[in-house]
Amino acid sequence: MTSLAAMCSHHPPLLRTGSSTVMTVATRTVPRVSTAVRLPADLHTELQQQATEREVSVNFLVTRAVVHYLKALRPADPLNDTEGADT
C-alpha cells in the first residue's frame, strides 16, 4: 500500500520508529497558500482526533487527503460535465 506521505512530494515523509513518529525536516520549495474550508463539526472533530493519534497536524492530514483524492480522480468528461450548467 502506498503511503500518502509518498504521494505528496512537498511534505517530508513520516518515519515510524517504535511507538513514536518522526517527521524529517526538508526545505520547502513549493509555494504554499492558506485557504479556509468549512467542515461539518463531527468531521472536524474526527480529523482532530486522527491528527492527535498520529502526532501530526490537521493541516498535514488534510493536505495528504487532498493529494490522495486528486490522484484517484478520473479525468473530467467535457461532454458529460454538468458543473456550471443552468438547472
Q: Is residue 28 part of a domain?
A: no
**Vertex 65 angle, CA 58 and 15, to 5°:** 70
Summarised one tens digit per residue, pLDDT across range 54-64 is 999 999 999 99
Can you read off the three cell numbers belonging to residue 86?
443552468
- In the predicted model, is pLDDT for residue 26 greater than 90? no
Q: Which structural domain range is residue 57 located in? A: 42-72
Q: Is residue 15 part of a domain?
A: no
* Residue bearing cell 517530508: 12
Summarised one tens digit per residue, pLDDT across range 38-76 is 999 999 999 999 999 999 999 999 999 999 999 999 888
Per-residue confidence (pLDDT) for residue 76, from 0 to 100:
86
Q: Is residue 19 part of a domain?
A: no
Q: What is the pTM of this model?
A: 0.56
Q: Is residue 20 part of a domain?
A: no
Q: What's the domain count of the chain?
A: 1
